[in-house]
Structure 1
Amino acid sequence: MSKLYLVPTPIGNLEDMTFRAIRILKEVDFILAEDTRTSGKLLKHYEISTQMHSHHMHNEHKSIEGILKRIQAGETCALISDAGTPAISDPGFLLTRACVENRIEVDCLPYATAFVPALVNSGLPNDKFVFEGFLPVKKGRQTRFLLLAEETRTIIFYESPHKLVKTLGHFVEYFGADRQVSVSRELSKMFEETIRGTATEVLAHYTNKPPKGEIVIVVDGNRKA
């Protein structure tokens, strides 16, 4: 039966791949990958020989029509990102929406994405939270911080290593020096670490020790609001 599968992949440790995900990737007619070189290593590890095509933020607008035609013709497709669940700060939303609009079945396999373990091991309240993903680089950045300064729920961000210190500095400026922050780096990988403390303390740590790798930041909500 033709459909689109959204298949999460490990955020670091290849042992985190599920049995079902491996089976689906072997059974579908073709796989859409954010970076075929990165995904090629995963497929090779699990001896998956399914045909793979590139599908990323720079070509997804142009490629969707062709993908829909293949699925409507009876083929099954799996979409994977470089790491984690497709459409969570990665390509996937546009294709999923197009499939839904064209009454094509979409099946998203359950799996944790990077922010889930970062949130859980932060020690900060996780009964209510808001996922912000990546902050605006320039336009709208200050406005976003001003709005989030009043947010009472725990806030989750993704950040690149070369922007982390700048972002932590903005936390001190807009959220306050004593706001609790947890930074998880390289989750599930060999050099995984989580640094917790006030915004000032975490800023000082990474100012003295420049970070590397994938980063998730968890920030306590405004308890004074």
Structure 2
Amino acid sequence: MIAIIDYGMGNLRSVQKGFARVGCEASIVQDPAAVEAAPAVVLPGVGAFGDAMENLKKSGMIEVIQRVVAARKPFLGICLGQQLLFDVSEEFGNTQGLGIFPGKVRRFPEGQLKVPHMGWNQAVKQKASPLLEGVPDGSAFYFVHSYYVEPADPELTITRTEYGLPFASVVGRDNVFGIQFHPEKSSNLGLRILQNFGKLVKS
């Protein structure tokens, strides 16, 4: 069973339904102990970085997430959930993140770009990953975000996407992955990514 963390940020039902469509059992979970007991964990999210970190702290999830990652269980951050994996976000000043990956979350520059970045865009592979098995290079996925991750370690970047500048749209190392776009809203190829994550789960 995949635990989808409910900390008051995000469209959890659509993620759960996405997993169900590819035959993966996923439950929306508020109890930190249940999250820690799960064989795999998903951290979704939309909204403000600072609010998300505060909600995770209040719900007792920060320490649980750290232990899940340390236990090398498959872990997936989606949209804001990807950004939370990094050290710090420049949203409303500097807000500390989970610090699982080194790097910063930055806002797209105002001016010529329309912010938020919204709609379908391509993800170009930078390295192989089990998360992208069966997903053609340059496939398009659905994005809605004003901030992007800037990994300090370029080896973290699995795919890049262009929107005024190149940014890491999928990141990963060992058992931990982050996706900036919404796989649950990205048609069959997005569902394939969820299915691939499900294959990493040990029952």
Give the TM-score of the pair, scaled to structure 1: 0.29
The structure with the largest strand share of the pair is 2
What TM-score does the superposition give when structure 2 sets the normalisation length? 0.31
Higher helix share: 1
